[in-house]
């Protein structure tokens, strides 16, 4: 266990630049970390608030018995999706693999240390989703204080099962992909299918909940216990105070995790070796080569960068895929059903009145630029020593972001404009507004990344997922959507004017931000 | 003689410590300038400053008549830089990387085909150019980075420990290519720990210690009557 602790410690010190923060003398780094901490606290507080309010709502309609099961299921789904996105890069292909594996530590220690980092992240999720619900449960049921020990144990164990399921899917995806020459592409595709599948499952579960909620109580409880049997054990452990059920849940979680670590350790080196082994032909002959201008060369390189890291591609292009998927769902099911399916109560109304903002919601989730400078990592010396201007580098990054978004916007806007009987201005705005949001999010992503650079990553996951810039960009994108939509919905007679005004304002902000990017020199962002 | 690189009173500080302290040197067309010194003496910092990667507090750098501070792109257009441990794009194939560099430096179609064919043949890398850089050994990456450095026929080649990781045959070819470049009017500024190579290859030598340039001149002037190794140790001891 000492090895696991030491290996985990090294990883955790790198997490969110904690070690750098401890040892830095730079005041700006400290301020950035403080800003990051505040953002996390706000997000955490929001999650605690929602979790508390929803579980209090369930309690108010007499369903307090179901609160632990519902929230365990919800938390498990979050963990499933979160871990699935990370699974392939957490366990395999990390840059310090050679160093770590050359140390006198067992494979299971390495695996456990990698899992521990993800586990701690999920535990935090659990703290803000599961624990507030448990507080409601304990208060409403007037449970004795000793039951808090059970709650604590459930919280500590809850991430294990969904994590192991996700990691198992990740291992299967990686094991399949290593057989291919373009393994990164295969990993991306399979991960996308798995993530979409998980999301579809969670949507169907949520819609089932809403239907069953009409019958109140028993059926819902049975459905959850049927879908996720461990929920039955947790309910029994807390509602019936069954020590046997609690022991069963603990044994199930720990045994599944131990079995996973044991089995994976048997094939761990093989999969990693296959992942690091490149398919080489070694039969190149210099024949005819094509020439391109520097801007095109930068664009091609940037596109290759995006498509070469599954975690980068998956996380930043997810919005585009969701946009197309949602528009297709809208076409098939209609706005009312989609509203129920996505659990967005105002969606149907918004689609009628503020349609141009619907594709824009997904646009704001797809900023490739927010991590694009981070992704340069150790290679940044190349761009830095080349005779290319900062503007040319930035433009290539913005163009790649638009390449990801514009085809999806065009397709979605076309379908959307054919689905509802809009007037000419509305149809026009359905195309223009999301396009302006696309340029906006690309420029904002870059501006934010310039302020929160992270070059010293060990795996691309750190550059993408543990980056302050990605989070801040998403928050800004969300605010840029929420403000005009809220205004439009509260002033229905001004819908169209608000849409046009918001688009123009955003376009003006984008132009201003783009110009301000010119102030940065290559040394500032690549040095 | 044409001045290719002029460094005037360069000072670079890291957290209060002077990594490079008031260094001045000039490199002319045809010069093969060897930069030697202990680990941490300030060699890499000087090289990185000279190619515009690092900001510096004091001094000025001119490359082929252009100020590095005022006209960085004009300077970089005539420079090629090779770091001591070049991290290349693992996700590109060798030929994709070379095409990228050639596009950036606007090397014509015909010239790039000829040069890539020539340099890759000399460094025995042709067969591997279609493979991903991620599959390359350290030495192969070094060879690819060298080809990319020579590809646009730079006026000034700045190399940080270029011989590390090269096999004897590639090291020999590299020395040939370096001499050819200088014969054709280019200049090379490179750091090395291999004093024997510096002595045989360079016409000028600079010795740096604790960020200060403590000796600089023709190879003959610096080594005097002894070998460069003796002269190097003597200069360091006396300083």
Nearest to B90 by CA among A461, A379, A285: A379
- Closest Cβ opposite residue B131 in set A278, A389, A527: A278
State how far the alpha carbon of B178 is from the alpha carbons of B6, B147, B157, B182, in Å.
20, 12, 9, 6
Confidence of residue A215 (pLDDT cuts 50, 70, 90): low
Q: Name the average pLDDT for chain A.
A: 82
pLDDT digits (tens, 9 = 90+) for B9-43: 999 988 778 899 999 999 999 999 999 999 989 99
Paired tokens of B48:
């990185």
Give bridge partners of residue B215 from the DSSP assignment.
Answer: B207
Task: Pick the residue of A188, A385, A395, A463 with the most B CBs within 10 A to test the interface with B by mutation.
Answer: A385
Q: Decide if A293 and B53 are in contact by the 8 Å CB cutoff.
A: no
Report ipTM (2 d.p.).
0.77
Check if A102 contacts B (Cβ < 8 Å).
Answer: no
Buried b (16+ CB within 10 A) or exposed e, A370-405: bbbbbbbbebbbbbbbbbbebebbbbbbbbbbbebb
- In the predicted model, residues of chain B with pLDDT beneath 70 are 1, 239
Closest-CA residue in chain B for A183?
B91
DSSP state of B132: B
Check if A23 contacts B (Cβ < 8 Å).
Answer: no
The percentage of residues in chain B with a pLDDT greater than 90, rounded to a whole number, is 72
Closest-CA residue in chain A for B102?
A291
Q: Decide if A280 and B94 are in contact by the 8 Å CB cutoff.
A: no
CB neighbours of A220 closer than 8 A, spacing ≥ 6? A63, A66, A70, A209, A212, A213
pLDDT score of B115 = 96
- Closest Cβ opposite residue B103 in set A292, A305, A308: A292
Confidence of residue A198 (pLDDT cuts 50, 70, 90): low
pLDDT score of B151 = 95
For residues B110 and A347, the model is more confident at: B110
pLDDT score of A249 = 93
Return d(Cα A115, Cα A113) in angstroms, integer: 5
In degrees, rounded to 5, the angle at the alpha carbon of residue A193 between the alpha carbons of residues A188 and A199 is 120
**Selection from A163-172, A178-187, A462-471, B63-72 with the highest mean pLDDT:** B63-72
Confidence of residue A187 (pLDDT cuts 50, 70, 90): low
- Closest Cβ opposite residue B77 in set A381, A387, A527: A387
Return d(Cα A324, Cα B153) in angstroms, integer: 48
The percentage of residues in chain A with a pLDDT greater than 90, rounded to a whole number, is 30
Min Cα distance B71 → chain A (Å) is 10
Q: Which residues of B touch A298 (CB under 8 A)?
A: 104
Min Cα distance B239 → chain A (Å) is 33
- Closest Cβ opposite residue A523 in set B55, B104, B108: B55
Please say whether the beta carbons of A316 and A368 come within 8 A: yes
Q: Is 70 exceeded by the pLDDT of residue A201?
A: no
Q: Decide if B127 and A282 are in contact by the 8 Å CB cutoff.
A: yes
Closest-CA residue in chain B for A523?
B53
Closest-CA residue in chain B for A280?
B131
Paired tokens of A487:
């205004």
Return d(Cα A508, Cα A514) in angstroms, integer: 10
Nearest to A59 by CA among A51, A249, A222: A51
Q: Decide if A284 and B128 are in contact by the 8 Å CB cutoff.
A: yes
Q: Is 60 exceeded by the pLDDT of residue A311?
A: yes
Q: Please tell me whether residue B212 adopts helix, strand or coil conformation.
A: strand
Min Cα distance B51 → chain A (Å) is 7
Nearest to A199 by CA among A358, A312, A119, A80: A80
Q: Decide if B91 and A309 are in contact by the 8 Å CB cutoff.
A: yes
Closest-CA residue in chain A for B113?
A289
Q: Is 70 exceeded by the pLDDT of residue A178?
A: no
pLDDT digits (tens, 9 = 90+) for A435-485: 999 999 999 999 999 988 888 887 787 888 777 888 889 889 999 999 998
Check if A27 contacts B (Cβ < 8 Å).
Answer: no
Return d(Cα A376, Cα A224) in angstroms, integer: 45
In degrees, rounded to 5, the angle at the alpha carbon of residue B163 between the alpha carbons of residues B93 and B83 is 60
Task: Pick the residue of B68, B91, B102, B118 with the most A CBs within 10 A to test the interface with A by mutation.
Answer: B91
- Closest Cβ opposite residue B116 in set A282, A286, A305: A286
Q: Is 70 exceeded by the pLDDT of residue A4?
A: yes
Confidence of residue A214 (pLDDT cuts 50, 70, 90): very low
Task: Pick the residue of A188, A291, A298, A306 with the most B CBs within 10 A to test the interface with B by mutation.
Answer: A291
Min Cα distance A372 → chain B (Å) is 14
Q: Decide if B81 and A385 are in contact by the 8 Å CB cutoff.
A: yes
pLDDT digits (tens, 9 = 90+) for B37-68: 999 899 999 999 999 888 888 999 999 999 99
Return d(Cα B191, Cα B16) in angstroms, integer: 25
Q: Which residues of A touch B90 (CB under 8 A)?
A: 308
pLDDT digits (tens, 9 = 90+) for A257-283: 999 999 988 888 777 766 665 556 667
Q: Which residues of A touch B14 (CB under 8 A)?
A: none
Return d(Cα A178, Cα A449) in angstroms, integer: 32
Residues 347-406 of A with CB under 8 A from B: 377-379, 381-382, 384-389
For residues A410 and A343, the model is more confident at: A410
pLDDT score of A341 = 63
Q: Decide if A284 and B99 are in contact by the 8 Å CB cutoff.
A: no
Paired tokens of A258:
């131990």
Task: Pick the residue of B104, B115, B148 with the most A CBs within 10 A to test the interface with A by mutation.
Answer: B104
Q: Decide if B103 and A285 are in contact by the 8 Å CB cutoff.
A: no
- Closest Cβ opposite residue B135 in set A278, A308, A309: A278
Which of A27-31, A48-52, A422-426 has the lowest average pLDDT? A27-31
Return d(Cα A487, Cα A504) in angstroms, integer: 15
Paired tokens of B160:
């940080």
Q: Which residues of A touch B117 (CB under 8 A)?
A: 286
pLDDT digits (tens, 9 = 90+) for A231-256: 888 888 888 888 999 999 999 999 99
Closest-CA residue in chain A for B81?
A385
Q: Are strands B156-160 and B187-191 parallel, antiparallel or unpaired?
A: parallel
Give kind and range of the element (H or E) at residue B63.
strand B58-63
Dihedral (CA of B76, B80, B86, B90) sign: positive
Inter-residue long-range contacts of A55-59, CB under 8 Å, 24+ positions, other chains counted? A55/A132, A55/A133, A55/A136, A55/A137, A56/A136, A59/A136, A59/A137, A59/A140
pLDDT score of A16 = 62
Min Cα distance A301 → chain B (Å) is 7
Q: Is 50 exceeded by the pLDDT of residue A229?
A: yes
Q: Decide if A382 and B88 are in contact by the 8 Å CB cutoff.
A: yes
Return d(Cα A441, Cα A281) in angstroms, integer: 41
- Closest Cβ opposite residue B83 in set A293, A381, A387: A381
pLDDT score of A23 = 65
Q: Decide if A284 and B89 are in contact by the 8 Å CB cutoff.
A: no
pLDDT score of A69 = 86
Give bridge partners of residue B207 from the DSSP assignment.
Answer: B36, B215
Q: Which residues of B touch A293 (CB under 8 A)?
A: 103, 106
């Amino acid at each position: 266990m000492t090895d696991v602790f030491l290996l985990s410690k090294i990883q955790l010190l790198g997490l969110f630049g904690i070690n750098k923060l401890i040892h830095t003398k730079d005041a700006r780094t400290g301020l950035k970390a403080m800003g990051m901490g505040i953002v996390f606290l706000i997000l955490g507080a929001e999650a605690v608030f929602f979790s508390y309010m929803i579980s209090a709502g369930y309690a108010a309609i007499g369903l307090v018995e179901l609160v632990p099961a519902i929230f365990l299921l919800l938390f498990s789904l979050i963990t499933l999706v979160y871990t699935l996105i990370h699974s392939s890069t957490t366990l395999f292909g990390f840059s310090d693999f050679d160093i770590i594996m050359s140390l006198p530590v067992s494979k299971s220690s390495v695996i456990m240390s990698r899992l521990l980092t993800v586990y701690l992240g999920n535990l935090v999720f659990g703290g803000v989703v599961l624990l507030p619900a448990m507080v409601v449960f304990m208060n409403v049921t007037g449970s004795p204080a000793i039951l808090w020990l059970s709650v604590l144990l459930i919280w500590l164990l809850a991430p294990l099962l969904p994590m192991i399921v996700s990691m198992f899917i990740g291992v299967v995806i990686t094991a399949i992909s290593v057989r291919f020459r373009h393994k990164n592409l295969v990993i991306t595709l399979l991960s996308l299918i798995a993530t979409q599948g998980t999301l579809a499952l969670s949507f169907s579960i949520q819609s089932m909940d809403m239907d069953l909620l009409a019958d109140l109580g028993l059926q819902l409880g049975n459905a959850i216990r049927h879908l996720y049997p461990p929920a039955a054990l947790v309910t029994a452990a807390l509602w019936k105070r069954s020590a046997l059920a609690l022991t069963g849940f603990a044994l199930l979680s720990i045994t599944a995790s131990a079995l996973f670590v044991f089995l994976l350790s048997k094939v761990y080196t093989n999969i990693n070796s296959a992942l690091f082994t490149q398919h080489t032909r070694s039969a190149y002959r210099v024949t005819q080569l094509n020439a391109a201008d520097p801007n095109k060369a930068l664009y091609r390189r940037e596109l290759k960068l995006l498509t070469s890291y599954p975690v980068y591609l998956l996380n930043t292009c997810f919005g585009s895929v969701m946009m197309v998927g949602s528009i297709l769902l809208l076409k098939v099911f209609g706005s009312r059903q989609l509203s129920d399916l996505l659990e967005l109560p105002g969606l149907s109304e918004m689609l009628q009145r503020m349609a141009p903002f619907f594709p824009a919601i997904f646009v704001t989730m797809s900023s490739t630029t927010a991590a694009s400078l981070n992704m340069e990592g150790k290679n940044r010396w190349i761009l830095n020593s080349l005779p290319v201007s900062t503007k040319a580098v930035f433009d290539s990054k913005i163009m790649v972001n638009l390449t990801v978004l514009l085809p999806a916007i065009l397709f979605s806007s076309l379908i959307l404009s054919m689905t509802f009987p809009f007037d000419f201005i509305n149809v026009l705005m359905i195309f223009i507004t999301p396009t302006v949001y696309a340029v906006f999010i690309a420029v904002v992503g870059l501006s934010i990344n310039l302020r929160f650079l992270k070059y010293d990553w060990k795996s691309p996951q750190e550059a993408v997922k543990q980056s302050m810039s990605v989070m801040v960009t998403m928050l800004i994108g969300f605010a840029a959507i929420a403000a005009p939509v809220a205004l439009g919905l509260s002033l229905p007679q001004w819908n169209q004017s608000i849409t046009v005004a918001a688009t123009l304002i955003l376009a003006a902000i984008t132009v201003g931000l783009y110009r301000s990017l010119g102030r940065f020199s290559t040394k500032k962002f690549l040095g | 003689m044409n001045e290719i690189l002029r460094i005037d009173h360069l000072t670079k500080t890291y957290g209060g410590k002077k990594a490079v302290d008031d260094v001045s040197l000039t490199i002319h067309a045809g010069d093969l300038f060897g930069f030697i010194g202990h680990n941490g003496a300030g060699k890499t910092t000087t090289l990185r400053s000279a190619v515009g990667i690092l900001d510096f507090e004091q001094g000025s750098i001119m490359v082929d008549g252009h100020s590095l501070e005022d006209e960085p792109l004009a300077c970089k257009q005539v420079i090629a830089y090779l770091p001591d441990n070049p991290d290349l794009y693992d996700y590109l194939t060798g030929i994709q990387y070379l095409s990228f560099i050639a596009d950036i430096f606007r090397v014509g179609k015909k010239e790039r085909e000829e040069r890539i064919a020539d340099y890759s043949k000399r460094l025995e890398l042709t067969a591997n150019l279609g493979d991903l850089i991620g599959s390359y050994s350290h030495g192969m990456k070094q060879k690819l980075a060298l080809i990319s450095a020579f590809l646009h026929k730079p006026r000034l080649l700045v190399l940080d420990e270029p011989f590390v990781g090269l096999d004897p045959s590639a090291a020999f070819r590299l020395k040939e290519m370096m001499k050819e470049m200088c014969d054709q009017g280019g200049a090379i500024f490179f750091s090395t720990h291999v004093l024997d190579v510096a002595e045989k290859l360079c016409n000028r030598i600079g010795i740096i210690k604790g960020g200060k340039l403590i000796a600089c001149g023709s190879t003959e002037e610096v080594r005097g009557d002894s070998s460069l190794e003796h002269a190097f140790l003597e200069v360091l001891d006396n300083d």
